[in-house]
Amino acid sequence: MNFREYKVGARFFALALGGSMTITLLLPSFDISSVSATEVALDKQLWAGHESGFSLDDPLLLGWHRPEKVILKTDPKTGQPIEATTAYVYDKGTPFPGGVLHPGNLGKVSERLSINEGHINEANKDQGAVFLVRSNDQKQYYIEDATVTRGWNPEQVLKAAGDSNTYYASAGKSIFVREGCWWCHTLLPEQTQDWQVFGAPPMLGDFNGESPTAFGSDRKAPDLLHVGSRNASKEWLMLHFFNPRLVQPHSIMPRFDYLWGKVDANGKPIDYDKWRKEYSEYTEGKRIYPPEVPMYASNSDARHLIDFILNLK
Amino acid sequence: MGWSFKDPLATLSDDETTEKNKKLWERELLGGLTEDNNPVPVPVVWLVLLTVITAFLVTFPLWGQRPTAELFLPYVQAMQNPEVMNAKNDDEAMKAIEKIVSQDPNANHALLERHPVSMDDLRMIGPQIEALKAHNEHLGDYTVVGPNVVIANFEGNYRPDGSRIRQQPWWDKGYTIDLFYLSYFFLAVFLMIKRLPPTTWQPRHGHVED
Amino acid sequence: MFKYLLAKNEDIPHGASAVYWGFSAIVWFVIGTGLGSFNAAKLAFPDFVTGYEFLAFGHMRQVHVHAVIFGWISMAFGMAMMYITPALGNTRLWSEKLGLWNAFLWNIGLSLGLVVLWAGMTSGREYSDFPWFIDLYIITFMVVPLGVNVWMTIINRRTQGIYTTNWFFGAATFMLAIVFTVGNLPEFFHLTGLTEAYLTWWFAHNVLGLWITPVAAAIAYYTIPKVTGNPLYSHRIGHLHFWSVVVFYSTPAAHHLMSAPLPEWLKSFASVEGVLILVPAIAFVSNILLTMQGKWNMFVENIEVRFTVTGCLMAIPLNMQGGFQQTRAINWYIHGTGWIVAHAHLALLGFSTFLEAAAVYLGLQSMMRRKLYSLTLANIHFWLLLIGFTTYWVSMTIAGLIQGAGKIYEVPYIDVVIAEHPYMIARWIGGTLVFVGNCFWLYNMWMTARAGTEVPQGRMPHELAYER
């Protein structure tokens, strides 16, 4: 350590940086990797799918290769009425979520049950799969591959559920990421006071398998982690997305009318210029009522995003 | 690399190393720049010390941010009091409860004041808190959120019985690591700067002997 | 500039790459602050430019952030490294050609990355928004070549010693490569859940703490002694600064997630370390201000010194905020509010931009051997930056305090939005002033290259009188 002696300095540097990385990366990794997935995490990763950000399966975040969440009221195979069951439909070629690919992420108990009872290791991407979240008598939650255990295949399940009971929440989450909703709407109620309004903060195991978590850091708008429990009105959400100032005059949210695409639910082209002109007249007081918001098509981005929002319970 | 411990607060190098260092220091122009050998000023040392102390003090958890089940237990227990049971309406019942609890030395009065509740709230959370108490749960681990009493999502230290403390502990292994980490840092930096020539000597820049 | 890309290394004039980096940085600064001003207008007036997906706030915000971090700040760093590193070793840059190619590939990669982000192709991870193929490009063609040039120049120096600035340059380029690789592991290997969230903020913290803050400070260690002619006050404080940056600044990542369910011990550890970032700050500020002894007139008279000392003074509120706002006692109030936005701009637009601007002013004049075209324009630039930034910082800090109060008193959110509105307008005005100032700067530097008075060999640009 002479003045102008750098060998020792370089070793000290390696020691300092290595020590820092040991404490901040290696030590917490033991804690974080030992976390077991909660019921919330199983549900979340199954509806959100493998990845909501950029991936080779959906490079433009347009909602390709996405699972659907459906509520079944009849058995898709026999057609007999059953108790309402939530199923997660992975069509052929849709990548499976982290917990199915790497059951170790689920935690020891859930991993054992998911493999032994749920047969998730038999799921096959080329054939597609239908997953369920199940629990045993001791309230231990696990994933079941209903394609193996019950012979349900994706097409049957989608048909049995029908469009009104199908939620494109996964495609919706990628729009949430793509459109940068999370630059203003956080997905993390804080551990202090604000959870009285926005709901309980998430628990430790609630994120297993989710990517990206998209907590957000710069909150300029309400937290959305539990928004589906506060507001479940599709009509309100539709107006709000088309032009937030239709339902909340002081909102600073951008208009997301372009998520409607070219045509409305009836296949009629949407005339945005006319709508904006009439809306301007309304804001200037020349019209009493704002123009009608067109109903979104059932395969539009708007539909997917609204399904995602309704799914945030 | 000779060490000398004659006067450790002045320099830890032996005379030969110091002389070599001095010569080099005076000779060298790094892109026309030079450096002086001034000591770390005493106010800076004090500021650094103050920072370390403050860092620990200010990081200890703020107590009582959130209302726990434990906080409302005195209220819930007071609900069984005949005076409360016989109250004409909720307002009077609440007043009676507050009166009873105000004499309870174990209640956290300051925090209760910040988390006011009504009889309606107590009717919803009361049975949940009693059920937890009947199960001998640690009430401090549960948080009251609106009408629900839920387990807090902190991952604190382990108790001797293996369960986890669901509150911010005042000391955990993070602080212990900090203590060691800081000690190593200050020791290393002290050794490093004390290997330099003593601060009583200042370089005459550009001065070249022989 | 482009003709030198295919020239032999020996034929490239000394300083060519620094000039290329420098002008690129200024252009990115104009673009980045222009985008910032546009985004701020959208927050103040939500119906300003509406109906186009690619002009929506959610598509533009990250473009602004990455244009200033990787375009302006990092390219200004590259510029500083290209001329300061060899100067301090009494030598020439190891490879001017590599420097030019590096800047060229940097501009290409960043443009590509920003277009990709603009289109919405994002990893959805704040500060590491670039998808993984852009991350790989950044590591391979942007970060590592810069590091190689700096390290090789230091190794081939003609002095025995390495000056403090070069410790920082060498270490920070190395740490940036590590941070970039490790921080993007969730994208390379699809790590999920809390691991993903934690590594996102490990990256975000360290890219600021181990790249932007130390390199900006290192630049001041060069500009102040160089321009004032004073020796650096204390080699010892330099040690305290360097080692505390490596040891303390690299550890508090978890303090960005104080309200997420990470292990409590990690938050406790990170929080104490977070306060200790005041140690490098105290060392840096004291060393620079003490070096100024006897030359304080230059704070008024000289543009580089004025920029540097202003940036250095901003390090005081910056680190007081940074140290304390992350503790449990304060974080619950201001987390996720405009206060943090103000703080981030104090770090990037205040502290570090002012230090870099000085380096770019000084470097372009020295490398082109041209005296600054107009001191008046430079003064206008300084004051527009300072007034614009201060307006921004004050208004966002107030907005943040309003949001914090709204959060704990459970005020309906829309009332908070209404209360913030005037400050959103003030923020937009502040940001626009900065943008206008940068347009003047670009013009001024362009004219310096075209019409600046020639600086004779062996003289510093500031020693010459202004001719116009």
A114 contacts A103 by C-beta, under 8 angstroms: yes
Is B160 within the bounds of a domain? no
The pLDDT assigned to A210 comes to 93
Task: Strands of C243-401 (E only): list them.
Answer: none
Same-domain status, B38 and B80: no
Distance from CA of B34 to the nearest CA of C (A): 5
| Domain coverage including residue A198 | 175-311
Query: Which one of B17, B20, B153 has the shortest CB-CB distance to A203?
Result: B153
Length of chain C: 468
The pLDDT assigned to A192 comes to 64
Percent of chain A past pLDDT 70, that is, above it, reads: 97
Please report the sign of the dihedral spanned by the C-alpha atoms of residue C193, residue C194, residue C196, residue C200.
Answer: positive
Q: Do B39 and C327 touch (CB under 8 A)?
A: no
Query: Which one of C58, C162, C247 has the shortest CB-CB distance to A179?
Result: C58
Residues with Cβ within 8 Å of A8's Cβ and at least 6 positions away in sequence, in order, are A1
Same-domain status, A191 and A283: yes
Write down which chains contact chain C via at least 3 CB pairs under 8 A. Answer: A, B
Domain chopping of chain C, boundaries: 14-452
Cβ contacts of A33 on chain B, cutoff 8 Å: none
| Position B60 confidence tier, pLDDT thresholds 50, 70, 90 | confident
Is B103 within the bounds of a domain? yes
Report d(CA B93, CA A295) in Å as an integer. 52
For chain B, count helices (H), then strands (E).
8, 2
Report d(CA A133, CA A206) in Å as an integer. 14
Is B9 within the bounds of a domain? yes
The pLDDT assigned to A198 comes to 87
Domains in chain A: how many in total? 2
Among B123, B151, B179, the domain boundary falls at B151
Asked if residue B64 has pLDDT above 90, the reply is no
Same-domain status, A130 and A203: no
Is A22 within the bounds of a domain? no
The pLDDT assigned to A303 comes to 96
Q: Do B181 and A31 touch (CB under 8 A)?
A: no
At A260, list the tokens: 């409607």
Report d(CA A106, CA A209) in Å as an integer. 8
Among A170, A195, A213, the domain boundary falls at A170
Residues A241-254: tens digit of each pLDDT: 999 999 999 999 99
Cβ contacts of A203 on chain B, cutoff 8 Å: 151, 153
Same-domain status, A248 and A269: yes
Cβ contacts of A202 on chain B, cutoff 8 Å: 153
CA distance to C217, C286, C287, C386, per residue, from C292 (Å) = 15, 10, 9, 21
At C211, list the tokens: 């790249």
Report d(CA A106, CA A43) in Å as an integer. 12
Please report the sign of the dihedral spanned by the C-alpha atoms of residue C315, residue C317, residue C320, residue C326.
Answer: negative
Among B100, B120, B151, the domain boundary falls at B151
Same-domain status, B124 and B144: yes
**Residues B3-32: b if buried by 16+ CB within 10 A, e if exposed:** eeeeeeeebbbeeebbebbbebbbbbebbe
Distance from CA of A201 to the nearest CA of B (A): 8
- The SS3 call for residue A89 is strand
- The SS3 call for residue B204 is coil
Cβ contacts of A16 on chain C, cutoff 8 Å: 243, 246-247, 250
Query: Which one of C90, C263, C272 has the shortest CB-CB distance to B31?
Result: C90
Please write down the long-range contacts of A144-150, taking CB distance under 8 Å and 24 or more positions apart.
A144/A114, A144/A117, A144/A118, A144/A119, A144/A120, A145/A100, A145/A118, A145/A119, A145/A120, A146/A87, A147/A123, A148/A119, A148/A122, A148/A123, A149/A118, A149/A119, A150/A77
β-sheet bridge partners, residue B142:
B151
Same-domain status, A148 and A240: no
Asked if residue A2 has pLDDT above 60, the reply is no
State residue A82 phi and psi, 5-degree precision.
-130, 170
Same-domain status, A83 and A182: no
Average pLDDT over all residues of chain B: 88
CA A197 to chain centre: 21
Q: Do B174 and C282 touch (CB under 8 A)?
A: no
The pLDDT assigned to B205 comes to 87
Q: What is the value of ipTM here, to two decimals?
A: 0.95
Same-domain status, B127 and B99: yes
Average the pLDDT over A49-68 and give the result. 95
Cβ contacts of C266 on chain A, cutoff 8 Å: 24, 27-28, 31
Query: Which one of C161, C202, C410 has the shortest CB-CB distance to A24?
Result: C202
Q: Do C269 and B33 touch (CB under 8 A)?
A: no
Same-domain status, A80 and A202: no
Among A107, A140, A170, the domain boundary falls at A170
Per-residue pLDDT of chain C (468 residues; tens, 9 = 90+): 678 888 888 889 999 999 999 999 999 999 999 999 999 999 999 999 888 889 999 999 999 999 999 999 999 999 999 999 999 999 999 999 999 999 999 999 999 999 999 999 999 999 999 999 999 999 999 999 999 999 999 999 999 889 999 999 999 999 999 999 999 999 999 999 999 999 999 999 999 999 999 999 999 999 999 999 999 999 999 999 999 999 999 999 999 998 888 888 999 999 999 999 999 999 999 999 999 999 999 999 999 999 999 999 999 999 999 999 999 888 888 999 999 999 999 999 999 999 999 999 999 999 999 999 999 999 999 999 999 999 999 999 999 999 999 888 878 899 999 999 999 999 999 999 999 999 999 999 999 999 989 999 888 888 887 765
Q: Do C225 and B29 touch (CB under 8 A)?
A: no
Distance from CA of B209 to the nearest CA of C (A): 17
The pLDDT assigned to C329 comes to 83
Is B202 within the bounds of a domain? yes
The pLDDT assigned to B106 comes to 87
CA C297 to chain centre: 27
The pLDDT assigned to C152 comes to 96
CA distance to A225, A248, B19, C273, C330, per residue, from B58 (Å) = 30, 41, 45, 12, 9
The pLDDT assigned to A4 comes to 67
Same-domain status, A233 and A160: no
The residue with greater pLDDT, B163 or A265, is A265
Instruction: Please indicate if any CB of chain B lies within 8 Å of the CB of A203.
Output: yes
Amino acid identity of C197? A
Please name which of B66, B67, C199, C194 lies closest in space to residue A204, comparing C-alpha atoms: C194
∠ CA C53-C56-C58 to the nearest 5 degrees? 110
Same-domain status, B53 and B114: no
Q: Do B65 and A193 touch (CB under 8 A)?
A: yes
Cβ contacts of A181 on chain C, cutoff 8 Å: 58
Same-domain status, B141 and B83: yes
Please name which of A256, A253, A245 lies closest in space to residue A300, comparing C-alpha atoms: A256
| Position A3 confidence tier, pLDDT thresholds 50, 70, 90 | low
Same-domain status, B34 and B103: no
When scoring C60, C191, C195, C198 by the number of chain A Cβ atoms within 10 A, the one with the most, hence best to mutate, is: C195
Helices B173-194 and B42-59 meet at what angle, rounded to 10? 170
Q: Do B28 and C261 touch (CB under 8 A)?
A: no
State residue A122 phi and psi, 5-degree precision.
-95, -5
Provide the 10 A C-beta neighbour count for residue B135: 7
CA distance to C10, C23, C101, per residue, from C16 (Å) = 12, 11, 11
Same-domain status, A218 and A127: no
> For residue C15, with 0-12 CB atoms within 10 Å meaning exposed, 13-18 middle and 19 or more buried, which class applies?
buried
Same-domain status, B142 and B181: no
Residues with Cβ within 8 Å of A33's Cβ and at least 6 positions away in sequence, in order, are C195
The pLDDT assigned to B62 comes to 63
| Position A199 confidence tier, pLDDT thresholds 50, 70, 90 | confident
| Position B175 confidence tier, pLDDT thresholds 50, 70, 90 | very high
When scoring C85, C153, C240 by the number of chain B Cβ atoms within 10 A, the one with the most, hence best to mutate, is: C240
Is B73 within the bounds of a domain? yes
Q: Do A2 and B66 touch (CB under 8 A)?
A: no
State residue A144 phi and psi, 5-degree precision.
-120, 135
Domains in chain B: how many in total? 2
Please tell me the CATH code under which domain C14-452 is placed: 1.20.210.10
CA closest to B172 among chain C residues: C265
Instruction: Please indicate if any CB of chain C lies within 8 Å of the CB of B58.
Output: yes
C288 contacts C220 by C-beta, under 8 angstroms: yes
Same-domain status, A180 and A166: no
| Position B200 confidence tier, pLDDT thresholds 50, 70, 90 | very high
Among A135, A170, A205, the domain boundary falls at A170
The pLDDT assigned to B1 comes to 65
Same-domain status, A82 and A130: yes
Q: A-C interface: how many C-beta pairs under 8 angstroms?
A: 228
For chain A, count helices (H), then strands (E).
13, 5
State residue A126 phi and psi, 5-degree precision.
-70, -25
Is B141 within the bounds of a domain? yes
Same-domain status, B36 and B103: no
Same-domain status, A134 and A181: no
Please report the sign of the dihedral spanned by the C-alpha atoms of residue C195, residue C201, residue C205, residue C208.
Answer: positive
When scoring B20, B33, B157, B189 by the number of chain C Cβ atoms within 10 A, the one with the most, hence best to mutate, is: B33
The pLDDT assigned to A96 comes to 96
Average pLDDT over all residues of chain A: 93
pTM for this entry: 0.94
Instruction: Please indicate if any CB of chain B lies within 8 Å of the CB of A191.
Output: yes
Length of chain B: 210
Report d(CA A12, CA C188) in Å as an integer. 30
Instruction: Please indicate if any CB of chain C lies within 8 Å of the CB of B12.
Output: no
Supply the DSSP string of B147-169, one letter for each residue: TEEEE-----PBPTTSPBP-S--
Residues C301-331: tens digit of each pLDDT: 999 999 999 999 999 999 999 999 999 888 8
Is B165 within the bounds of a domain? no
Query: Which one of A4, A195, A203 has the shortest CB-CB distance to B24?
Result: A4
Residues A72-122: tens digit of each pLDDT: 999 999 999 999 999 999 999 999 999 999 999 999 999 999 999 999 999
CA distance to C134, C350, C414, per residue, from C427 (Å) = 31, 14, 19
Among B103, B119, B151, the domain boundary falls at B151
Please name which of C20, C78, C31 lies closest in space to residue C356, comparing C-alpha atoms: C78
Is B159 within the bounds of a domain? no
Cβ contacts of A202 on chain C, cutoff 8 Å: 260-261
Distance from CA of B163 to the nearest CA of A (A): 15
Is A134 within the bounds of a domain? yes
Q: Do A19 and B145 touch (CB under 8 A)?
A: no
Query: Which one of B21, B148, B155 has the shortest CB-CB distance to A204?
Result: B155
| Position A1 confidence tier, pLDDT thresholds 50, 70, 90 | very low
| Domain coverage including residue B105 | 69-151
Strand order in the sheet with A141-145: A141-145, A129-135, A81-90, A68-74, A166-167
Same-domain status, B147 and B73: yes
CA distance to B159, C172, C177, C197, C264, per residue, from C254 (Å) = 24, 21, 20, 10, 10
The residue with greater pLDDT, C276 or A8, is C276
Cβ contacts of A227 on chain C, cutoff 8 Å: none
Residues with Cβ within 8 Å of A4's Cβ and at least 6 positions away in sequence, in order, are B21, B24, B28, C160, C161, C162
Q: Do B59 and C275 touch (CB under 8 A)?
A: yes
